[in-house]
Amino acid sequence: MASACDSEVLMVSVVHGAHAYNVAVAVSYELSVQDVVVRGEGVVGPSCRAIVGKDLTAVVSHLVKPSYDSDYVGDLVVTAYLGSGATRTHTLKNMVSRGFAYEFNRESPPAMYRQSFAHVGPMKVNSIGVADTTNVTVA
C-alpha cells in the first residue's frame, strides 16, 4: 500500500538538455491519446477503440527568463524530493522547446515565465510511456 510519504513535496531542479531552469516553481506534463472508434456490425457501442495518435506536452513555470528560443531538442528532467526523503526523477525524452509566456501581476509578484515543450520522435503504440517507478521516463 502506498504511503502519503511517497508523494513529491519539494521541487529540486528542472533541466532541459544542458539548460537548468533557475527557480522553477511549477511543472506539468500531459500525454494525450487520440482514438478511433470501430463499431461491429449491428451494435451501437464501440467494439474496438484503437490508438491512432499520441502527443506529449509539458509546461515549466520559472522565475528567471529562459536563455534560449524555441526548437531546442533535449530531455526534460524534473527532480523532486518525496516526503520520505527519497528522490524521484521524471525524464521526458526528446522534448523540443516551443513558445514561452511572461506573466506579471503587481498584486501577486514575482513575475513568472512559462516555457512550453512538445515531444518529437516515435512513441510505442501499446505503451503510455510512463513507468510507475521512482524514476519516471517518458520515451
Domain that holds residue 21: 4-138
- Burial class from Cβ neighbours inside 10 Å (0-12, 13-18, 19+) for residue 117 reads buried
Which cell numbers in the block locate residue 77? Answer: 528532467
Q: How far apart are CA 95 and CA 17, in angstroms?
A: 9
67-120 pLDDT, tens digit per residue, is 666 789 999 999 999 999 999 999 898 899 998 899 999 999 999 999 999 998
Q: How far apart are CA 51 and CA 38, in angstroms?
A: 11
Q: How many domains does the chain divide into?
A: 1
Q: In the predicted model, is pLDDT for residue 139 greater than 60?
A: no
> Nearest CA to 67 among 103, 136, 20?
20
